[in-house]
A and B are shown apart, each in its own frame.
Chain A
Amino acid sequence: MTVITKRDGQAVRATRPAPPSWWRSRGAQGWLYAAPTALIVGVLFLAPLVLIGWMSLNRWPLLGQARFNAPDNYAKIADNPLFLDAVYFTLKYTVITTILLSAVALGLALLVQERRPGIGFFRTAFFLPGAVGFASAALLFYGMLNNDFGPIDPILQALGIIDEPVKWTGTPNMALFSTITLVLWRFAGFNMLILLTGLQAIPLEVYEAARSDGANRWQIFTRITLPLLRPTIALMLILSITGSLLAFDQFFIFTNGGPDNSTVSMVMVIYRDAFTRFDLGGAAALSVVLLLALVALNVLQMRVLRRSN
């Protein structure tokens, strides 16, 4: 697409000896500047989108010849218990994470919203885990919660909170709990920052007016802060929901899907189908389903967000 238009542009310039019409040549120049963008988007975004549709209709082994087999890959999904379990688990994880993350982030944002001495330090402290890569964070928790090496068991024992080392990733519930703690640590400050930008957009006069009307703190929070913060909260929810539905790093690195496949997320099933079962076609079909579901969700969320604006 790009190349042809570029050629068009040059052809136009070459065949018109008279002073080239301003917008025609501007148009050609514009395309030249936009060409790298178009090339990247075409080759690395649009082409894979088409390819994944095609792959999902084929028996596509990691090595060897692809063969058309539609709609087998899609029909197989219904018989894939690991994926169905993963859908349930991912939804559960998404709901819990989103609620806790929003609550913690809102609490932090309210705590540090006012300019006071030293507040910059605390904001940075809460955000700092967000500057660390998620893979690093997962490895850090992997070490920190280890029963032999990690500091958490001894600290909790010294405080008298636990009697003996806890199997942090040893049971399905503890593995989920530990993973959510990791995610809260890594992302609470990030979400706090989103909420802070929303809080700072609320004019101070609104608060003053409410206070002079005799509203107490709780009333101010529920009647003014929360409603005016709604678009920002909606944005945070969208990011948290989309991010959680695509969870991979935390389960691949931190729990390795265990114990007993109890923490296998949807993306992890796709990864395993593709690279441990060498079934790229099946993985592509799962990806297409997930992709369509998320695009639908995104469209829905944007409608809601626009309405609340």
Chain B
Amino acid sequence: MRYYTTLSALAVLFLFPLLWSGWSSFDGGLENYAEMARFGEGVGTYLTNSVLVSVMTVTGTLIVSALGGYAFARFDFPGKNLLFLVTLAILMVPYATILIPLYVLLGYIGLQNSLVGLSLVFVMFQLPFALFMMRNAFEAIPRELEEAALVDGCGTFRAFVRILLQAVRPALITVGLFAFLASWNDFFAPLILLNDGESFTLPVAVVSMTQRTFGAIDYGMLQAGVMVMAVPCLILFIVLQRHYVRGFMSGALRG
């Protein structure tokens, strides 16, 4: 019994901040949410930006890593090992240190202050984990499955789209989930790469609520912002918990 008392007390400590944030965001009904909807360019703009960036990041990561994972699992090509090692080396280079050259570089190719540019940067940071996952998933598929399709007259691309992608669905879900959580929640990259209020994503916009130079900070509105950011993640995590934990165990670790 003492065991469950300890666990319950700890669970209260861990859950309390989330419950408090939810509760205080509804303090005064929906007023805080209405207030937030009017903040800055309007929460609709920031929410749209965040959703766009996440959708582009998830789609981009899935396409690039599925194609790449297939290449690394099933083909031999010159430079294969080098490319794989260089991709994994992204993990070794601190994220924060290459955002400044990325900012300059995106300026050169006309993608500064652009949601597309930000999404591409997110795809790059997701790539080591995603490619690793997808390569392992394709390697686990029996070659007979692919050969049967090829014998039936499919080109490799048709076999890839029609048959292999179905077979690696669990890995696709895991990679997509991680890409979503990372792009939806990241603060530093959009802070640096976006410099126009209209293109801010939710985290940057909500943090800017705390840095108003005039007037008091509206804490209720702030917690409403926290809820808008957190609830989609909590729901996704609870629904896809199994995939998250599995991805985690296959080396899904980026602190």
Contact = CB atoms under 8 A, between A and B. Distances in A.
Interface in B64-108: 64-65, 67-68, 70-72, 74-80, 83, 86-87, 89-90, 92-98, 100-102, 104-105
Contact of A133 (B10, B74, B185, B220): B185
A5 B226 CA distance: 47
Chain B at the A interface: SS class: helix
A188 B206 CA distance: 25
Interface in B209-228: 210-211, 219-220, 222-223, 225-226
A26 B75 contact: yes
A129 B10 CA distance: 13
Given A30-B75, A128-B237, A240 B96 contact: no
Contacts of B234: 128, 131-132
Given A49-B98, A51-B104, A136-B230, A122 B93 contact: no
Interface residues of A, number: 91
Contacts of A189: 14
Contact of A139 (B71, B121, B222, B255): B222
Interface band, chain B? 35 or more
Contact of A144 (B21, B70, B236): B21
Most buried by B among A36, A118, A129: A36
B7 A111 contact: yes
Interface in A259-309: 267, 270-271, 274-275, 280, 283-284, 287-288, 290-291, 294-295, 298
12 contacts: A30-B74, A30-B75, A31-B77, A33-B70, A34-B72, A37-B68, A122-B10, A136-B229, A136-B230, A140-B18, A140-B230, A249-B188
Interface of A: 1, 5, 23, 26-38, 40-41, 43-49, 51-52, 55, 60, 108, 111-112, 118, 121-122, 124-126, 128-129, 131-136, 139-144, 146, 148-151, 185, 187-189, 193-194, 197, 235, 239-240, 242-243, 245-246, 248-249, 252-253, 256, 267, 270-271, 274-275, 280, 283-284, 287-288, 290-291, 294-295, 298
7 tightest A-B CB contacts, nearest first:
A133-B185, A30-B75, A243-B255, A30-B77, A33-B71, A37-B68, A131-B237
